[in-house]
Amino acid sequence: MLLAIDAGNTNIVFAVFDGDAIKGQWRCSTTVERTADELGVWLHHLFELSGVPRDAISGAIIATVVPAAEFSLKTLCRQYFSVDPMIVGSPNVDLKMKVIMDRPSEVGADRLVNAVAAHRLFGGPLVVLDFGTATTFDVIDGQGNYLGGIIAPGVNLSIKALHMAAAQLPMVAVEAPGNVVGKNTVEAMQSGVYWGYISMIEGLLARIRSQQNEPAMKVVATGGLAPLFAKAIDEIGHSHGDLTMLGLLMIYRQNLENDKAGQLA
């Protein structure tokens, strides 16, 4: 079994793969002060509740955009599962994808993982739209090369910023309001966030397609809010909640195959 770990700015997601099937998936808040021992105890109970034997883990892979969390996650894999994890972004981990950027090392590991998975599943050219702490657009060409992207404030981050900056604006849930013009403060905020993000996404996708000269460029959405926005944005052709985890599985397998081929050579 494979332990896949995606450490984002808001949450760390752990998933256990048995072949292609996810046998368990859990998340905790990203707290860099949390030690490997704390994570190990927490995961031990979740493994037991899910009926996943801890000693069945034969490999691990980590993608993190929080450098301070990497040490604890590597220690967790080594001490509690007796495996040395692959780290996405390390020179010895091959993504089989060119990153055509001014500074490739600056691209978040999760974005590269999503790009690998989306191109493998849906082909290219395409845009991966990720609704996370930030709302990101990642552009991949027909050959699977990563061309660059766009980073905008995330939906929940925007709501939090409004609430913190304006005394009379409450925290609101992200919902599709019935009317564009709100009849009260909550409706007005929900409309601004929901329809505002839809307009931003539609406008940016149109500009990306125009600049890339790819009017039929596919769009794949992922992240917790992807289903909500995919319903209202015709340009989104696919919505996939486990895109990052599947990408980690793909990268792990292709590097395992590379290692075996190298040993046989």
Catalytic residue status for 110 = yes
Known binding residue 108? Answer is yes
Provide the residue type at 7 as one letter.
Answer: A
Report the alpha-carbon distance of residue 126 to residue 11 in Å, rounded: 26
- Say if residue 258 carries a ligand binding annotation: no
Handedness of CA 112, 67, 28, 76 (dihedral sign): positive
Strands (E), 78-159: 86-87, 126-131, 134-140, 146-153
For residue 178, how many other CB atoms are within 10 A of its CB? 10
Catalytic-role residue among 110, 138, 141, 242: 110
- 234 annotated as belonging to a binding site for a ligand: no
**18 annotated ligand binder:** no
| 9 has binding-site annotation | yes
The answer to whether 190 and 175 have CB atoms below 8 angstroms apart is yes
6 marked among binding-site residues = yes
Dist. CA 107–CA 84, nearest whole Å: 24
- For 48, the token pair is 């037991």
- What 170-175 contacts at long range (C-beta under 8 Å, 24+ apart), as own/partner pairs, is 174/225, 174/228, 175/228
Q: Is 255 labelled as part of a ligand binding site?
A: no
Name the packing angle between helices 109-122 and 243-264 (round to 10°). 90
Q: Annotated binding residue at 133?
A: yes
Question: Is 179 flagged in the annotation as binding?
Answer: no
Q: 124 labelled as ligand-binding?
A: no
Q: Is 185 marked as a binding-site residue?
A: yes
Neighbouring CB atoms inside 10 A of 165's CB total 8
Catalytic residues: 110
Q: Which residues are annotated as a binding site?
A: 6-13, 108-111, 130, 133, 185
Q: Which residues are annotated as a binding site for substrate?
A: 108-111, 185
Q: Which residues are annotated as a binding site for ATP?
A: 6-13, 133
